[in-house]
Amino acid sequence: MTSSFKRVMLVVPPGRCTPEGAFHAVPPEGVARLAAWLRQHGIEVSVVDTLIEGYDNRLIKGKSARYGLTASQAADRVLDWKPDLIGISCLFTCIAPDVMEIAKACKSIEPRIPLVIGGAHAATNSVPILEKEQAVDFVALGEGEQTFMALIDCLRNGGNPSEIEGLTGRENGQIFKGHLVSQNIDLNTLPPPAWDLFSIDSYVEADSPLCGPQGKKRFLPTSWSRGCINACSYCLTSRVWGTGNYQKRSVAHILDEVKTLRNSFNIEELHVQDDCLLADKTWLHTILDALANEHPELVLDFSNGFDIMTLDIETIARMAHAGTRRVSLSLEAGMPEKDLRFIHKRVPLSHAREIIAALHGHAIYITGNFMMGFPGQTIDDMEATVEYALSLDFDKLCLFIATPFPGSPLYAYCERHGYLVEPHNFNDFRFSKGLIQTGEFGPKDTERIRRDGWLRHKTKLFEAD
């Protein structure tokens, strides 16, 4: 190991789902962007993508399935490269225990290499992680690019990491707590993601993106903006980027990147992952029109969920003209008077039928997203949500159980009122698992209602064929 901090290893954690789940395999855009940023600043970067490298290695325990390289396999791959610094992505609560296992495996072999984790779960639970996990030295908060480079410069120069904004860590056995820094990076300075460090062919072969199997088309995810204008109680996005902290890339920057992806990686489909694309329709329309003109054969997928409140007929027409084949609609709940106080969105459900008809008119595949199981709901409320969802003409229906992710306002509320089911394992924090118990309902109720609704939707589709 050197002290120059020129070599950084980034690690993608394994995946988690239910044993009968989809075993999604989505190229990690955040890690690819961080890798590109570090290389742009003279850092040599390598990646161990444990999910796709060990995609067929599956360990099923109870109602949870883990897929990817084992912790020891990942550590061997990481340390064989002899990095000066290790960074592990920890986006989701359900994979946090797997991230910690990889961290411990690396430290058990080479304890001198600094190890930093980042991502939504890590950023919103930084102090508890450091209190529990001695293998983790630092946690990056918010945007990773500048924080990561600041840490590298600090370690190179023998500085004090506690002085870095947006970093929580351990120094001389004591934990120092950073604070969330508002987005201050110019998104138009971001280089294209370093997809050359990843096996795109393996992701294509797995054929399990968020939107579902697609005939092994060459696809990559992309984001045209960062942040979110909403502050949903169950979501960690606003806690990572800052409430209302939303930035867009320029149209020219987006189009340049699309050209790179098409020319360098032969991409046939782009899966757009933004949370708030409809916040600026003029900007979005300009992008869609340009893609239709410059890349008429490109297919677009919007699987992260459009807010149906702001989706309109004109935008749908432009999406279709730009090659959109699939969209997700976020309706969230069928009982807005109660549910949406916790979601912090105002969704006009009466608008749904018109929008769905317009999308189908352009032969666009539609996924409908609903959420239920919030404190204050009753079993009747949740069943009404399912009935409403089934009354709409979706090609795919996703019924999510409200999940109190640690670090979210919903978690704090449930903890304060004694609604959290104990004991709970972080592997259980997924949208198919009930973790809230109130006087009106419990996990068995939400899981039953979700399962029955999903089966009824499948039956409805079968009978329609």
Q: pLDDT tens, 263-312?
A: 999 999 999 999 889 999 999 999 999 999 999 999 999 988 888 878 99
User: Which pLDDT band holds residue 233 (cuts at 50, 70, 90)?
Assistant: confident
State which CATH number among 3.40.50.300, 3.80.30.20, 3.20.20.70, 3.30.2320.80 fits the domain covering 209-464: 3.80.30.20
Whole-number mean pLDDT of the chain?
90
Percent of the chain topping pLDDT 90? 70
Query: Over the stretch 94-116, which tens digit does the pLDDT of each residue have?
Result: 999 999 999 999 999 999 999 99
Q: What are phi and psi of 352, to 5 degrees?
A: -60, -45
Prediction pTM value: 0.93
Question: What's the chain's Rg over C-alpha atoms?
Answer: 22
pLDDT at site 334: 44
**21 pLDDT higher than 50:** yes
pLDDT at site 339: 47
User: Which pLDDT band holds residue 340 (cuts at 50, 70, 90)?
Assistant: very low
**180 pLDDT higher than 80:** no
User: Which pLDDT band holds residue 338 (cuts at 50, 70, 90)?
Assistant: very low
In this prediction, residues 147-152 reach a mean pLDDT of 94
Where do the structural domains in the chain lie, given as residue ranges?
7-176, 209-464
CATH homologous superfamily of 7-176: Cobalamin-binding domain (3.40.50.280)
Percent of the chain topping pLDDT 70? 92
